[in-house]
Structure 1
Amino acid sequence: MKKIGQKMGGIKKGWKKTAGVLLAAALLISTLGGCAGGSDINNNKETAKTRIFTDSLGREVEVPEEITSVVSSGNLAQIMLFAAAPDSLMGISGSWSDDAEEYIDRKYLELPDVGALFVGHDLNYEEITKLNPQIIIDVGEVKDSLKEDLDEITDKTGIPAVHISVSIESMGDAFRTLGDLLNQEEQGEKLAEYCEEAYQLTEDTMKIVTENGEKKSLLYCTGENGLNVIAKNSYQSQIIDLVSDNLAVLKNPSAKGTGNEVDMEMLMNWDPEIIIFAPDGYYEYVKEDTVWHSLKAVNADTYYEVPNGPYNWMGSPPSSNRVLGMLWMTKLLYPKEADFDLKEKVKEYYKLFYHCELTDEQYQHLTERSILKSE
């Protein structure tokens, strides 16, 4: 769509100008000045060119052609936006983790918190309006009320809001869409290629594992006491289901990162070969808890903790960090079949997605309760 107004240049004064020209100029200035408080034109700003973007919900949304300022609807979108166009972010959806400073440049840590649409349900419309980004972006799974939620955001802020759906299989396409939307096609393509290569490496490994009949039985346990599980066939379990036999089969799988609450009797009935604990969970207490020693994985010392920094590698939120978790979990469970260098892939991920040069020492710290423990 074309401009609906042009930026006014300054009117040069000159003694040789005729009185008629001066009068016309004065009238023009008066006319423009009398329309204060309205559109961008009235505020002496150049009206941006726009285009129509069709989001994953099929909504046709008018957005700026050149986007340089964005706000995310939540952490899931924030992670992907930070990877694709970090300098376009005007706010964050919740505080960074305590160890984020080790990986994330301080200028991003100091961005204002605008809340989140779903997790916390505390999206701060007033703060977003004050920041006045060009667009608000939501990324993730499609929820029943999402169309109405995004329309409401625009109604309250006057800022266009769009949704981009993503799963572990479609992560590459989602980054290409973001790259196109944010005029970051080259970075979007790099991110997409990493995601697709990681998925292919995992599929190749799992093909060998499945043919050999060696798929590991596993539970992913969360919560302070370890008695929550990520249930099979939930949005949060996509990686777990892909690379293991997820024993947590429940009638109503929770879509939350905390999973479904269970009890020790259920864990005993499942009795997995491998237990994965969420970061800051029950991992460090299991060794001293005699009740947990009734489980095969604990007795065999085949229980591990997900690496964490600046985000949980397996989810919470389930964004592009899960691509890293997919590679980690594949290598952890099937070190012989997984034909790739995990440290190399992790360093590449941190550089591409977190814009951080990961050191060997940082890698060792991240994996000391998983990969390094298993070696």
Structure 2
Amino acid sequence: MKGNKNHLMVFLFALAAVSILVSGCTETSTSQSIQTQDVTTVTITDALGREVEIPENTEYVICSGVNTLRFLTYLEAQDMIVGIDRAETTSTASNAKPYSLANPQFATDYVIFGETRGQDDPEKILSLDPLPDVIIKTSSAMGYDPVELQEKTGIPVVVINTGDLAENRDDLDQSLRIIAQVVDKEERAEEVIAFFDEELGYLNAQTEDIAEEEKPTCYVGGIGRSGGPQGFQSTEPTYPPFLFTNALNVAYGDTDINVADVSKEKIIEWDPDYLFLDLNTIECGEERSGLSLLTNDDSYSLLSAVETGNVYGVLPFNKYGTNFGSVIADSYFVGKTLYPDRFEDVDLESKTIDIYTFLVCEGDEEKGKEIYDSMINTYEIPAFTRLDI
């Protein structure tokens, strides 16, 4: 009888212990569940006017489409990405981008979640580890619709319009500020915006009072497009380095000109005093490149700029969107070339290094020098030099 009582006591003790353990596990599980669901959010307005609810403390993001990762790098938040789109995995000469050159890990360390220009893959996004808290996406008619992408992934999608440094400057500033809200970099965004203001303000101040009759005429050829490198007849009537230095672009204001195609006859008719060549044109090959045409085409040999040796190579800046630092560097080169007395105090190499150091190198001047060397020497002919025609 005594033995049975002992067995009963052991059984009851064991039952109590199991009950306590189960109770403890249940409480812990409930606590974890509540913690997972209790995420503080904030609402921001994206470029489409959508109110998007995102985590207050965003840790991880992905960047879809042109300029998004570039802007994230300008904001010094590139380490927050957990995946990459395919366009960011190459850093060859034909795809030289300062922000990528400064971050070679883009090409090697990240899983690809989609194709170029916003062609996202929801399944690949959901397989990322860790999952992004927010998807930052360029507004575009191409690629996944942002609302549909958000519905398929359950991840907030914040849209930006990339803008530019000229007519669409407000969009550019807004893009930086929207991304800054997502990644908690508002102060840095204002620094970048102020940097652009200061550089463009200086360029304008040095050139705005030059009389029209004192300005030489100029033309830029070989402007690359989304379709790839182009020949000498590819120009840009609103070429930013000419706009920012108040230069006389012979193609400006001619409404009959297709932005990507000017006739040879038109260029000969204009006969500009200075020619600039986007060195990306070299990739067209011997038969089509602007450099080859200027060298071998007898019609072009009669141009005043060719006869006087006023033909110069400039940095390409149309690479998966606009490399804004290279736009500013090209502007300083154009300014020094057209109006040397107005820019005699500017050391172009130091200025370009400073630009890259600030925008993509987090203040690391040695890295800024490396990016400068890489960009200037992307092709066999260095940029910012007189071309031997």
Q: 2:71 aligns with which of 68, 80, 90?
A: 80
Q: Is the 8 A contact 1:115 1:122 kept in 2?
A: yes
> 1:283 touches 1:304 (CA, 8 Å); kept in 2?
no
Q: Distance in 2 between matches of 1:117 and 1:98?
A: 16
Which of 48, 51, 61 is the aligned partner of 1:60? 51
Aligned to 2:369: 359
Q: Does 1:122 align with 2:119?
A: yes
Residue 92 of structure 2 is aligned to residue 98 of structure 1: yes
What aligned pairs does 1:16-95 form with structure 2 within 5 A after superposition? 21-28=20-27, 41=33, 45=36, 47-84=38-75, 85-93=77-85, 94=87, 95=89
Secondary structure of 2:386's match? Answer: helix
Q: Is the 8 A contact 1:219 1:247 kept in 2?
A: no
How far, CA to CA, are the matches of 1:274 and 1:41 in structure 2? 69
User: Residues of 1 paired with 2:59 and 2:298: CA distance?
Assistant: 55
* Structure 2: distance between partners of 1:313 and 1:369: 15
Q: Which has the higher helix share?
A: 2
Find the structure with the greater CA-based Rg. 2
Mapped partners of 1:302, 1:335: distance in 2: 13
Cα 1:126–1:297 shift into 2, 3 Å: farther
Q: CA deviation at 1:343?
A: 2.2
1:134 and 1:271 map into 2 onto residues whose CA distance is: 55
Q: Residue by residue, what CA displacement relative to the aligned partner does 1:148-206 show, whole Å, maximum 9, x if unpaired?
A: 93223223332222233333144456434433331123433332332121111122123
Q: Is structure 2 residue 324 aligned with structure 1 residue 320?
A: yes
Provide the C-alpha distance between the structure 1 equivalents of 2:41 and 2:119, rounded to a whole number of angstroms: 30
**2:236 paired residue number:** 230
Say which of 236, 245, 250 aligns to 1:247.
250
**Could you say which residue in structure 2 is the equivalent of 1:343?**
349
Matched residue, 1:108: 106
Distance in 2 (alpha carbons) for counterparts of 1:147 and 1:289:
41
The number of equivalent residue pairs is 335
2:187, 2:334 → 1: CA distance? 29
Segments of structure 1 that go 5 or more residues without pairing to the other structure are 1-14, 33-39
Q: Output the CA distance in 2 between the equivalents of 1:158 and 1:325.
A: 43
Q: Could you tell me the percent identity over the aligned residues?
A: 20
Q: Deviations over 1:224-282 (max 9, x none)?
A: 432222244xxxx444434333333454877xxxx522331222233322332223313
2:309 to 301, 309, 317: 301
SS at match of 2:342: coil
In structure 2, how many angstroms separate the alpha carbons of the residues matched to 1:346 and 1:199? 14
Q: Map of 1:93-242 to 2, 5 A cutoff?
A: 93=85, 94=87, 95-99=89-93, 103-110=101-108, 111-115=110-114, 118=117, 122-131=119-128, 132-139=131-138, 145=141, 149-165=145-161, 166-168=163-165, 169-170=169-170, 171=172, 174-209=175-210, 213-214=214-215, 216-222=217-223, 223-232=229-238, 237-242=239-244
Counterparts in 2 of 1:320 and 1:362: CA distance versus 1, 3 Å? closer
Q: Which residue of 1 aligns with 2:386?
A: 373
Cα–Cα, structure 1 residues 117 and 283, in superposed 2: closer, same or farther, change >3 Å?
closer
Pick closer, same or farther for the CA change 1:202–1:267 going to 2, 3 Å: same
Instruction: Classify 1:65/1:30 alpha carbon distance in 2 versus 1 (closer, same or farther; 3 Å).
Output: closer
- How far 1:60 sits from its partner (Å)? 0.8
SS in structure 1 of the partner of residue 67 of structure 2: helix
TM score, norm. by length of structure 1: 0.73
The residue identity in structure 2 corresponding to 1:246 is N
Cα deviation per residue 1:110-149 (whole Å; 9 max; x = unaligned)? 133444564xx6333333332232222235xx66x58993
**1:74 Cα deviation (Å)?**
1.8
- Give the alignment's TM-score, normalised by structure 2: 0.71
For residues 55 and 268 of structure 1, do their structure 2 counterparts lie closer, same or farther at Cα, with a shift above 3 Å needed?
A: same
What value does the CA root-mean-square deviation take over the aligned residues? 3.8
- CA 284–252 in structure 1, closer or farther in 2 if over 3 Å, else same: closer
**Matched-pair contact (CA < 8 Å) for 2:150–2:157:** yes
Name the counterpart of 2:275. Answer: 275
Corresponding residue SS for 2:158: strand
Query: Within 2, Cα distance between the matches of 1:361 and 1:319?
Result: 13
Amino acid at match of 1:330: G
Deviation at 1:51, TM superposition (A): 0.6
* Secondary structure of 1:63's aligned partner: strand
SS at match of 1:80: helix
1:71/1:135 contact within 8 Å kept: yes
Structure-2 separation of matches of 1:218 and 1:154: 45
Could you say if the C-alpha distance between residues 115 and 303 of structure 1 is closer, same or farther in structure 2, counting changes exceeding 3 Å? farther
CA distance in 2, matches of 1:151, 1:319: 28
Deviations 1:328-365 (A, max 9, x none): 43334333223533322211222222215233895497
